[in-house]
Amino acid sequence: SKVKDMSSEVVDSNPYSRLMALQRMGIVENYERIREFSVAIVGVGGVGSVAAEMLTRCGIGRLLLYDYDKVELANMNRLFFRPEQVGMTKTDAAVQTLADINPDVVLEEINVWTISFNILRQKLLGGERRAYKCTRRYRFSSFTLNITTVQGFETFMSSLRNKSFRPSKEGSGVDLVLSCVDNYEARMAVNQACNELNQTWMESGVSEDAVSGHIQLLIPGETACFACAPPLVVASGVDERTLKREGVCAASLPTTMGVVAGLLVQNTLKYLLKFGQVSSYLGYNSLKDYFPTMAMKPNPQCSNAACLERQKECILAKPARDAAAKAK
């Protein structure tokens, strides 16, 4: 009589059925749309690699990964990378793992060779670029991309503009950019690219002492850009590099980075699939379990010219937007 009756339980080994249950339960209107979305992740470190894994497991259509670094033994206190991947570029190691988890996702790791290799491939083979697993595609994995260099920034921009995955859609070739880098220059480069392309993006960060973090949604012209409200240390003119003491490394915890990656991907899913309330800014203080939220308006005196252009466009488009909202 103690034997459990399994006959009434639905045993389904397809991971998608668990995701599709979100639709059956009325949380998401159309979960299948996840396959149509394309997300760029800049920085495949403690936050970015975990965010990439979460999106892959959620069945995202396409991921573009950018990083200039290699996997080190020192990264093993975080999630995702494994000791046998030490020495590989982070993008290569990520593609290796992610393609195994979900071969349906189109993964693109961007390095300096990618663009020319894709053009060459297209010329040789002709026709459309197909969606394929790219683990064997990038033989030049030791070349990585720093988005703050002139060539790196150009490659970054042209890869975001590439619309081969979503030719019928407006805007750039991606639906969202996630910034998971750990320094001001790289964040400013993402900010510049997204302001120029009118591309919505989300920023994330974890503090030097590893016990707090944040995520932020940035819509060019509509919300504050990264230059509208720079971090206090930057606004006060202190060089970020002088804060780092020689031989003293920043602290890091897999817990805080995992939480921030989770908050970032949850906001991404809400934004893409249009459910719940998308957070403008969400902080996380692990010492007090405090989650501050706020919204930031753009700064009319912002130092970024592209941001000012987007602000002007937003003001001009406001009456039409208000009328459309009223008509609903």
Residues marked active site are found at: 249
CB of 73 to ligand ATP, least distance (A): 11
Member of 28, 55, 56, 66 binding ligand ATP (CB under 6 A): 66
Residue 23 vs 96, nearer CB to ligand ATP: 96
Q: Cα separation of 181 and 18, whole Å?
A: 31
d(CA 249, CA 243): 11
Choosing from 46, 59, 258, 298, the residue that interacts with ligand ATP (CB under 6 A) is 46
Contact 111, 137 (CB under 8 A): no
Q: Could you say whether residue 69 binds ligand ATP (CB under 6 A)? A: yes
Q: Which of residues 262-291 bind ligand ATP (CB under 6 A)?
A: none
Using CB under 6 A, count the residues that bind ligand ATP: 21
Cβ-based neighbours of 33, under 8 Å, separated by 6 or more: 272, 273
For ligand ATP, which residue of 62, 90, 214, 310 counts as binding (CB under 6 A)? 90
Q: What share of the chain is helix, strand, coil (3-state, %, to 5)?
A: 40, 10, 45
Cα distance between residue 170 and residue 168, in whole Å: 7
Tokens 């989300």 belong to which residue? 202
Residue 65 is inside which H or E element, if any?
A: strand 62-66
**With respect to ligand ATP, which residue has the nearer C-beta, 203 or 222?**
203
Q: How far is the CB of 71 from ligand ATP (least distance, A)?
A: 9
Stretch that binds ligand ATP, among 41-49, 125-133, 225-233, 308-316 (CB under 6 A): 41-49
Residue 45 binds ligand ATP (CB under 6 A): yes
Of 193, 182, 195, 185, give the one whose Cα is nearest residue 225.
195
Does 313 interact with ligand ATP (rule: CB under 6 A)? no
Closest residue by Cα to residue 271 from 208, 167, 201, 324 = 201
Nearer to ligand ATP, 66 or 284 (CB): 66
* Span near ligand ATP by CB under 6 A; candidates 5-13, 20-28, 141-149, 228-236: 141-149
> Is residue 208 part of the contact set for ligand ATP (CB under 6 A)?
no
The answer to whether 202 and 216 are in contact (CB under 8 A) is: yes
Tell the smallest beta-carbon distance from residue 322 to ligand ATP (Å): 39
**CA dist., res. 253 & res. 67, Å (int):** 20
Site for ligand ATP, residues 227 to 266, rule: CB under 6 A: 250, 252
- Quick count: other Cβ atoms within 10 Å of Cβ 234? 15
Which residues in this chain contact ligand ATP in the complex, by CB under 6 A?
Answer: 43-46, 66-69, 74-75, 90, 145-148, 181-183, 186, 250, 252
